[in-house]
Amino acid sequence: MAGALALTACGANEDEGSNDKSQVEVFSWWTGPGEADGLKAMQADFEKKNPGTKFVNAAIAGGSGTQAKAVLASRLQNRKPPDSFQGHAGAELLDYIKAGQIEPLDDFYQQNNLTSVYPQQLIDQITYQGKIYSVPVNIHRSNVLWYNPGILKDAGISAPPASIAEFITALKAVKEKTKKVPLSLGAQWTADHLLENVLLGDLGTDAYNALWKPGADWSTPAVTKALNDFAEIMRYTTLEAASTDWQGAAKAVVDGKAAFNIMGDWAYGYFVGSAPNGLGKKLDTDFKYAAAPGTEGTYMWLSDSFTLPKSAPHRAGALAWLKEVSSKEGQDLFNPKKGSIPARKDADKSLYTGYLKDAFEQWNSPNIKLAGSFWHGVNANNKWHTDIDTAVGLFLQNKDAAKLQQALVSAAKNSGL
């Protein structure tokens, strides 16, 4: 897989920074159920291994980092970086590299023998001009269809839809035969997340991946069809208030209020996790899952990773945190709670059960096709990401698929990639 970072940018110069290990301020957007539990587990292991270092959790609420990234940008511009911050592996890191805001981590990788334990296609995504710029902690799958088996039965749907056309038919059946919400959505970004799944489901893996290459044509009839299907699907959704975020939309499925929700597999950690943060639900009873319609055999992936900001106030503390993030112990503590699989290849497979067992096997299958999640930072830099979100926001108001396509064509041309 071609590295998304090998497109354009200026490298960052390494800055020795401070060797202070008295504390480490870790910036993320992990405040929701599952993810917060995973971070807490990793924090406890970090504090055990580093008793003299104070851990400062600087997490900002907001699914997919929508609020956190704005706060982070302000801090970086004002030269007040945290000691380490979360970033999606891939093109999302380009802006930080271009601005000289994060250090390369090649020495860290060499000292900790990491190049042999991370998959090569993942290392490619965090590499620019031969230098590695972040430490992945997990792999997520974006293209998961969560559904309520009882509602599907009541609607006369015998199996989860395997194509976009079948999905639209199923949504109609739920609406006509039950009083339930056909497809639940949360804050606006969950509509962006739905869009990438519809594009992949309609276009197929190769054509979807081609959209993110320089000079890609977003004006084709195939994209038109996909966007018209997206508009049709949106007729069967209920947008929740932004404050509910993805959790409220996902919860509607396991509570029997909505038939379907297309969300990343972090929802699994939320569903099966223990109270008070988890819902304590059971797979195959309260909910089931399948690949998003039309995407069977493709893993639309993303990876959460952590960086070393240039001039980190507590650089030694940051390096200690990155060691925790990259460790087998840290990843095996974090990922079962988060609802993700480890980025390392040598994880304890016995810890990954239910959905996560399936995800682990598929990610490591030689037959799986890979597609990068644009919304979660793999394919699109921050400008492109923002322009797509603006286009989707306008679509939510005017419901005009043609205008949406025009805006997406413009966004691609002005992406800077």
- State the pLDDT at residue 237: 94
Q: Identify the pLDDT of residue 241.
A: 58
φ, ψ of residue 185 to 5 degrees: the values are -130, 160
Dist CA 304 CA 326 (whole Å): 11
CATH 3.30.1120.10 fits 23-140+301-372, yes or no: no
**Residue-level pLDDT at 4:** 44
The proportion of the chain whose per-residue pLDDT surpasses 70, expressed as a percent, equals 94
Bridge partners, 299 (sequence order): 370
Residue 61: φ, ψ to 5° = -65, 150
Give long-range contacts, CB 8 A cutoff, 24+ apart: 108-112. Answer: 108/135, 108/308, 108/319, 108/322, 112/323, 112/326
Q: Nearest 5 degrees, angle CA 308-CA 311-CA 316?
A: 60
Which tokens belong to 376? 């979660």
Report how far residue 5's alpha carbon sits from residue 150's, in angstroms, rounded to the nearest whole number: 44
Residue 3 has pLDDT above 80, yes or no: no
For position 239, what pLDDT does the model report?
66
Structure confidence by residue, pLDDT tens digits, 10-29 = 333 334 456 889 999 999 99
Residue 8 is predicted with a pLDDT of 34
User: 11-15, 162-166, 169-173, 363-367 — which is least confidently predicted?
Assistant: 11-15
Per-residue pLDDT for 195 more than 90? Answer: yes
State residue 318's pLDDT score.
98
Amino acid identity for residue 62 in this structure? G
The CA-CA-CA angle for residues 51, 52, 53, to 5°, reads 95
Which residue type, as a one-letter code, is found at position 137?
A: V
Higher pLDDT, 332 or 18: 332
pTM reported for the whole predicted model: 0.89
CATH 3.40.190.10 placement within the chain: 23-140+301-372, 144-298+382-413
CA separation, residue 34 to residues 38, 174, 212 (Å): 6, 29, 31
pLDDT tens digit string along 202-230? 999 999 999 999 999 999 999 999 999 99
pLDDT over 90 percentage in the chain: 82
Which of 5-9, 75-79, 142-146, 276-280 shows the lowest per-residue confidence on average (mean pLDDT)?
A: 5-9
Mean pLDDT of 60-87: 90
Residue 11's pLDDT is: 35
Give the pLDDT of residue 371. Answer: 94
Q: Look at residue 279 in the predicted model and tell me its pLDDT.
A: 94
| pLDDT tens-digit readout, 367-411 | 999 999 999 999 999 899 999 999 999 999 999 999 999 999 999
> What letter would DSSP give residue 118?
S
Check residue 242 and give its pLDDT.
57
Q: What is the pLDDT of residue 16?
A: 45
- 3-class DSSP state of 75: helix
Cβ neighbours, 10 Å, residue 55: 19
Mean pLDDT calculated for residue range 329-352: 95
C-alpha closest to that of 239 among 187, 290, 167 = 187
Kindly report the average pLDDT of the chain as a whole number: 92
* Domain 144-298+382-413, CATH: 3.40.190.10
Helix (H), strand (E) counts: the chain: 17, 16
Residue 1 has pLDDT above 60, yes or no: no
CA distance 239 to 237: 6
Tokens coding 385: 């990401």
| 164-168, 195-199, 241-245, 344-348, range with the lowest pLDDT | 241-245
